[in-house]
């Protein structure tokens, strides 16, 4: 979201007169980069505790997350802050769920953070959410994808910005069905052995069952596994039509490199991929169709400006976690501008109006009131033929947005019926 781009604070659906008046006012003041019209007298900075993995199997993704959110904070502050108050983002390594919980509690109780943002691990996000809920503080969960965070383990104080597992399955599934790779096909899945992977496997099984695919084998993979040879031998023995990956972080990179060395003829697809892991796999190793929430080739003016600005600042192409952290802080800033402060309950009420936000895509996004999921477009992307590109950043071809322009955005999302806020 560039400095001259505002976020229309407009509800998607029927609003009360009071909510409509609030949103109408926000359209005039809730800029995601421009100086705020309202000025707070003598107010200190707005302090945000940012937790994200900087080590371990998700560590590479966390580094992109830090760069994205810090870039957004710098832009907001350079343009005058929010209602005259500067944004201070303190980023720390969440490491694991226990560590994330401890740091979240310390950030709120001792460090005086106004609210929390971040995380990529679904398990750690759940731990942070429990802390935030006990303290009645907002937690914007930026990278975790487990459906359960929007379902049975949702919270009044947690808002999820990344696409959930069901959306990733639907994004890839639409492309697989188009190419005749589901009905009457056999699948062998490899799944990350923690809450995210278990949840993704559940969504994958539901997709196979609904579309005539047959799951003939599945293996749960611990997150610290680096040698996949035993699992690849099981795939060779099972002889599936398609190998489907429900892995996370550097598990994807390690597997596809080793799978390429074995030279098996069974094509791979995946229901989860982050572009940093795709790039790390290297040319010639990754194949198939995968889901993404955003890619740097997305051809909208706002997205291309973000890519150019990120490259100018960091000297590299942004990864999807850099993008989602960037737009999430801009969304938070819109809420802060609209509510006139950093009160968590006021922010929750604002986001529940289903105000729309420009997130640099063709269609605007909004938090669904019933489960606090950011409803937005998703995309499949496919690996180009080896030799057709000269750089790993060029090896993925972005497919058309799903759902289609003529469909409601919620068409690819879980219903949220299990969420009780």
pLDDT digits (tens, 9 = 90+) for 294-325: 999 999 999 999 999 999 999 999 999 999 99
Q: Is 3 within the bounds of a domain?
A: no
Pair 328, 285 in one domain? no
pTM score: 0.87
Residue 236: the pLDDT is 98
Number of domains making up the chain: 2
Pairing of strands 289-292, 268-270: unpaired
**Is it the case that residue 231 has pLDDT exceeding 80?**
yes
pLDDT given at position 20 = 37
Q: What is the pLDDT of residue 284?
A: 86
Q: Are residues 141 and 42 in the same domain?
A: yes
95-141 pLDDT, tens digit per residue, is 999 999 999 999 999 999 999 999 999 999 999 999 999 999 999 99
Query: Does 8 score more than 70 pLDDT?
Result: no
Q: Is the pLDDT of residue 25 over 90?
A: no
**237 Cβ contact partners less than 8 Å away, ≥ 6 residues apart:** none
Q: Looking at residue 189, which CATH number applies to its domain? A: 3.40.50.2300
> In the predicted model, is pLDDT for residue 29 greater than 80?
no
Count CB-CB contacts under 10 A for residue 261.
11
Is 35 contained in some domain?
Answer: yes
Mean pLDDT of 14-30: 35
Alpha carbons within 13 A on the beta-carbon side of 399: 24
User: In the prediction, which pLDDT does 386 show?
Assistant: 86
Question: Is the dihedral angle over the CA atoms 419, 58, 236, 267 positive or is it negative?
Answer: positive
For residue 6, tell me if it sits in a domain.
no
Let me know if residue 4 belongs to a domain.
Answer: no
How distant is the alpha carbon of residue 326 from its chain centre? 11
Please state, for a pLDDT cut of 90, what percent of the chain lies above it: 85
Average pLDDT over residues 134-156: 97
Is 99 domain-assigned?
yes
The position carrying tokens 């999921």 is 373
**Mean pLDDT, residues 78-91:** 97
Same domain, 241 and 340: no
Tens-digit pLDDT profile for residues 165-174: 999 999 999 8
Domain annotation covers residue 258:
yes
Q: How far is CA 70 from the centre of its chain?
A: 17
Q: Which tokens go with 28?
A: 């005039």
Same domain, 304 and 317: yes
Tell me: do 50 and 152 sit in the same domain: yes
- 219 and 276 in a single domain? The answer is yes
Does residue 52 lie in a domain region?
A: yes
Distance between first and last Cα of the chain: 30
Q: Which residue has the higher pLDDT, 415 or 5?
A: 415
- Regarding whether 302 and 257 lie in a shared domain, the answer is no
Structure tokens at 110: 């001792």
Give residue 420's pLDDT.
Answer: 94
Pair of tokens at residue 391: 């750089």
Q: Which domain holds residue 254?
A: 166-292+379-412
pLDDT at residue number 17: 31
Q: What is the pLDDT of residue 148?
A: 96
Mean pLDDT, the chain, integer = 90
Give the per-residue pLDDT at 337: 97
| Residue corresponding to tokens 């007298």 | 41
Please compute the mean of the pLDDT values over residues 269-291 and round it to a whole number: 91
Q: Which of 139, 95, 147, 91 is nearest to 121 (CA)?
A: 95
Distance CA 181, CA 330 (A): 39
Residue 23 has pLDDT above 70, yes or no: no
Residue 9, domain member (yes or no) = no
Residues 58 and 129 in one domain: yes
Question: For the chain, what is the total number of helices (H) and then of strands (E)?
Answer: 12, 15
Claim to verify: residue 217 and residue 277 sit in the same structural domain: yes
Q: Looking up tokens 């003598």, which residue turns up?
A: 42
**Same domain, yes or no: 154 and 174:** no
pLDDT digits (tens, 9 = 90+) for 354-368: 999 999 999 999 999
């Amino acid at each position: 979201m560039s400095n001259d781009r505002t976020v229309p604070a407009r509800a998607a659906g029927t609003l009360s007169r009071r909510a409509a008046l609030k949103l109408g006012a926000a359209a005039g003041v809730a800029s995601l980069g421009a100086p705020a019209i309202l000025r707070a007298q003598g107010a200190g900075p707005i302090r945000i505790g940012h937790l994200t993995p900087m080590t371990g199997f998700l560590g590479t993704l966390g580094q992109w997350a830090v760069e994205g959110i810090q870039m957004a904070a710098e832009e907001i502050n350079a343009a005058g802050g929010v209602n005259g108050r500067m944004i201070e983002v303190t980023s720390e390594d969440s490491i694991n769920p226990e560590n994330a919980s401890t740091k979240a509690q310390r950030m709120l109780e001792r460090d005086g953070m106004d609210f929390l943002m971040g995380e990529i691990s679904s398990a750690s996000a759940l731990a942070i959410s429990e802390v935030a809920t006990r303290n009645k503080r907002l937690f914007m969960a930026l990278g975790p994808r487990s459906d359960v965070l929007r379902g049975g383990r949702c919270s009044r104080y947690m808002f999820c910005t990344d696409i959930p597992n069901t959306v990733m399955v639907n994004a890839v599934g639409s492309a697989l069905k188009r190419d005749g790779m589901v009905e009457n096909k056999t699948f062998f899945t490899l799944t990350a052995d923690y809450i995210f992977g278990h949840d993704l496997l559940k969504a994958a099984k539901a997709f196979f069952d609904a579309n005539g695919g047959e799951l003939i084998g599945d293996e749960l993979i611990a997150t610290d596994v680096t040698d996949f040879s035993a699992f690849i031998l099981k795939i060779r023995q099972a002889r599936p039509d398609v190998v489907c990956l429900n892995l996370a972080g550097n598990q994807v990179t390690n597997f596809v490199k080793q799978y390429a060395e074995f030279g098996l003829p069974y094509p791979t697809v995946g229901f989860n991929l982050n572009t940093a892991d795709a790039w790390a796999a290297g040319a010639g190793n990754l194949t198939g169709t995968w889901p993404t929430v955003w890619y740097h080739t997305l051809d909208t003016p706002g997205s291309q400006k973000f890519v150019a600005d990120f490259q100018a600042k960091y000297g590299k192409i942004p990864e999807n976690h850099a993008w989602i952290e960037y737009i999430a802080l801009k969304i938070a800033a819109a809420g802060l501008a609209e509510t006139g402060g950093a009160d968590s309950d006021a922010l929750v009420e604002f986001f529940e109006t289903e105000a729309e936000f420009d997130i640099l895509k063709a269609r605007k996004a909004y938090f669904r009131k019933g489960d606090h999921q950011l409803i937005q477009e998703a995309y499949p992307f496919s690996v180009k033929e080896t030799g057709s590109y000269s750089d790993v950043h060029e090896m993925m071809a972005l497919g058309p947005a799903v759902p289609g322009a003529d469909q409601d955005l919620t068409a690819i999302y879980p219903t949220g019926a299990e969420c009780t806020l």
